[in-house]
Amino acid sequence: MDLVVVHPNFVLKGGAELVITKIAERFNPVIYTYAWHKENSWEQLKECDVRVVKPLRMDSLFMMRTGLGYYQMKVKDDYDIINAHFPPSQFIRHRNPRVLWYCHSPGRAAYDLYQVRMREYSPPVKVGHYIFTKLYRHLNAEVVSQIECVLANSRNVQYQLQQYLNKESTVLNPAVDPQQFVNECYDRYFFYPGRITPSKRLEYVIAAYRLFMQRNPSSPFKLVIAGGLQEKDRAYLEQMRKLHSCIMIDVPEAQFRQLYARCYAVLFSGINEDFGIVPLEAMASQKPIISVNEGGPRESIIDGTTGYLVNSVQEMAEKMELLTNNPSLVEKMGRVGRKHVIANYSWKRFLDEFEKHARTVARTSE
């Protein structure tokens, strides 16, 4: 099966890029993008046939430019199926048939995160975002109605697709490689991994940690935050560093996994996260995960068994205190969490299901 993959950018090691890496390992596709920072990408992608349609800056106009680019693009390769990923790559369907959209998100900046983004932008950019959102919603509805198959990465995203676009989809969760995650020890620090961007809501875990320390002023526990950074989010990084000094950016992959391997527990506070690979990586590392009770983490975390789902900063601080006072509970949750991931989130299962759906759309099935 000759596969073409389209994805707006490869500038960080995110969950969407990891999914593409796994798809590429099985299908050896041609990959079209508009930003390719090879040095910051997953190692496996560096050997793939990645083609930059037109180099574009990662600025506030990037999504608009890539959207128009994919909307007008006619794929010249002799392909069986096109696999679109992060928005607005699904716009490729306008001029190309046989598209499977693996939907990581319907484009939340134009929907539930619209007001969040508007608060971030300067007045001129707000005007542009308003105009683009109107255009994006119109084109998205038009294009998505034509897409032959949509796979949602979570029930949360499946609901968004139905709510915003009236589009049916099938849920296919991403996975992790448990062999790549180990538990070395339980050092005295909480770990929050993820991109440094407002939608990850770093201020939430920082506030929870501060409250935890107010209640336990002699506690040796630290908070370590680490993740990738896009230049557009640098001002947000500086704001967060005024609240908390230990924020690491663009950490090498081996060091990043060691932070998982040695931490005491993992925290997560993304705003209505579409799915969230962090809980899976935490459980694969045999660590409890304390997450906000919203979005995708509600689907992967077994509350009270592999971690906790919390509804407030105060509750997150309480669960942090509970775990620091019960190391045996931490170990038990970690063991159960790893078993849960191994049993339910394998890449073989993901790729087999992906291929099954792809073949229903591919030219070879006609």
Statement to judge: residues 167 and 272 lie in one domain: no
- Give per-residue pLDDT as tens, 298-333: 999 999 999 999 999 999 999 999 999 999 999 999
250 dihedral zone (left: phi>0; alpha: psi -120 to 50; beta):
left
Statement to judge: residues 89 and 164 lie in one domain: yes
E strand or H helix at 359: helix 347-361
pLDDT at 365 over 60: no
pLDDT at 168 over 50: yes
Statement to judge: residues 230 and 163 lie in one domain: no
- Give per-residue pLDDT as tens, 107-127: 888 888 788 778 877 888 888
Statement to judge: residues 55 and 78 lie in one domain: yes
How much is the pTM? 0.90
pLDDT at 196 over 50: yes
Q: Are strands 307-310 and 289-292 parallel, antiparallel or unpaired?
A: parallel
Statement to judge: residues 151 and 60 lie in one domain: yes
The answer to whether 127 touches 118, Cβ cutoff 8 Å, is no
pLDDT at 255 over 90: yes
pLDDT at 138 over 80: yes
Radius of gyration of the chain from Cα atoms? 20
Statement to judge: residues 120 and 217 lie in one domain: no
Of the listed ranges 68-72, 81-85, 127-131, 166-170, the one predicted with least confidence: 127-131
Residue where the block lists tokens 């336990």: 216
Statement to judge: residues 274 and 126 lie in one domain: no
Statement to judge: residues 45 and 134 lie in one domain: yes
pLDDT at 366 over 70: no
Q: What is the mean pLDDT of residues 341-363?
A: 96
Statement to judge: residues 337 and 352 lie in one domain: no
- Give per-residue pLDDT as tens, 22-63: 999 999 999 999 999 988 788 888 889 999 999 999 887 898
Closest CA to 105 of 286, 277, 341, 275: 275
CATH code, 301: 3.40.50.2000
The answer to whether 263 touches 190, Cβ cutoff 8 Å, is yes
Statement to judge: residues 248 and 236 lie in one domain: yes
What percent of the chain has a predicted confidence (pLDDT) above 70? 99
Statement to judge: residues 151 and 250 lie in one domain: no
- Give per-residue pLDDT as tens, 278-304: 999 999 999 999 999 999 999 999 999
pLDDT at 64 (0 to 100) = 87
For 144, 200, 242, 247, the CA distances from 237, given in Å and listed in that order, are: 34, 11, 9, 8
The whole domain housing 358 covers 3-175+347-365
pLDDT at 115 (0 to 100) = 82
pLDDT at 75 over 90: yes
Upper half-sphere CA count for residue 206 (Cβ side, 13 Å): 16
User: What is the phi/psi pair of residue 353, to 5°?
Assistant: -70, -40
Q: Six-digit token pair at 66?
A: 């890539």
pLDDT at 364 over 70: no
Statement to judge: residues 262 and 169 lie in one domain: no
- Give per-residue pLDDT as tens, 143-158: 999 999 999 999 999 9
Name the domain count of the chain. Answer: 2
